Amino acid sequence: MTFLLENWSTLEAIFIIAILAFLLYRLLLSIRKNKAERVDIPKTVGQRIRFTLLYTMRILGVGLGAFLLVAFFIMLERNVYSVITETMPAPSEVNIPPDLPFDVEEVKFEGGDGLMMAGWNIPSQNGATVILLHGYGANRTVMLWHARQLVNAGYGVLLYDERASGESEGTRRSYGWEDPRDVAGAIRFIEAESGGGSEQIGIAGCSIGAQIALQSAAYSPELKAVWADGPSTVRAQDLPPTRNPIVALIMLGNYTLDWMYEIKLDMDAPKPMIEIIGDITPRPIMLVGGGRAQPLVGSEAEMMVTQYARHAGANAQTYIIPEAVHCDGPTHRPDEYASRMVEFFDIAFGITR
């Protein structure tokens, strides 16, 4: 398996070249066969036009068929590769940065399925704690910038490595499908630490972490506010309708990808985000997205943020950062981002300054 994954791109190129070579071979055979056969050339102008059109359409049909066959193969093998690699554990060593300006307590708590989650806890100074969730394949350290802004504002913070990532337990990742169970464990941990559930709890995440945060808020009413930066899809249905042929192909591929995940994980797929995000009402949501367009697919704001906002309802706000692409708002507008995030949670929890 290791050899296969390490050489996947090379094998992919070999298979594509082989398919194209086979199609070219069949086309040349067909041309030779046609030349060997006697073809009666039409005599009238109308018949010649019809003959030329039919011949051209035949050639175009072969080309279109070849393109669709190659496109289907690429989509299928990319999906297989994604399912294999994106469900594999992503362990990493996690160390407290020596220059961290606040103290953290190393903790472990039980998430879903009896798995132990490893994290850092910073006690609250204002009666509210925010759970921070990282992107796919990363660990809790990538959310330290967010933690710093919240801790400076008096918030408690619980950062932890998602299942099968960093130092948390787990034999597989699930693209966020199973992770809300672990967030429920984080809520139980915070409630126990605060002495019986007196703490107000919010949640913030980036990318897959934002997707998990939104799912968790839909299922866990204890979460009173959600900051979701660059939330990804849960299911193929979450992608908005489009006239862009590239995005349409991505959507088609995502339907087969969902099916493959169900087989690989041996579980039913969760509900699409667009079906559950409305359940967060009336709790506030901030949907953050990059506004810088990318080739072919456009911007994150156009594709996902407005889609989720449309289904969420009046309790959802959007914060579009024009220079950002994906989860890089703090790099482009650090002061503005920090101010907006703290203000959002302050209003949600009724904290005055």
**What is the per-residue pLDDT for 2?**
57
| Cα four-point dihedral sign 336, 342, 346, 351 | negative
Write out the chain's pLDDT in tens, 353 residues. Answer: 555 555 556 655 666 677 667 666 666 666 666 555 555 666 676 666 676 666 666 666 666 666 666 777 777 878 888 899 999 999 999 999 999 999 999 999 999 999 999 999 999 999 999 999 999 999 999 999 999 999 999 999 999 999 999 999 999 999 999 999 999 999 999 999 987 767 899 999 999 999 999 999 999 999 999 999 999 999 999 998 877 777 777 778 889 999 999 999 999 999 999 999 999 999 999 999 999 998 877 899 988 999 999 999 899 999 999 999 999 999 999 999 999 999 999 999 999 98
For residue 331, the SS3 value is helix
What is the value of pTM for the model shown?
Answer: 0.84
C-alpha distances (whole Å) from 172 to each of 259, 265, 266 are 17, 9, 12
**What is the per-residue pLDDT for 335?**
98
**What is the per-residue pLDDT for 30?**
64
* Longest Cα separation, the chain: 95
Dist. CA 184–CA 167, nearest whole Å: 19
The contacts of residue 73 (CB under 8 Å, 6+ apart) are: 15, 16, 19
Please identify which residue in the block is written with the tokens 């796919």.
Answer: 136
**Angle subtended by helix axes 144-152 and 334-349, to nearest 10:** 60
Dist. CA 164–CA 89, nearest whole Å: 5
**What is the per-residue pLDDT for 27?**
63
Dist. CA 51–CA 47, nearest whole Å: 6
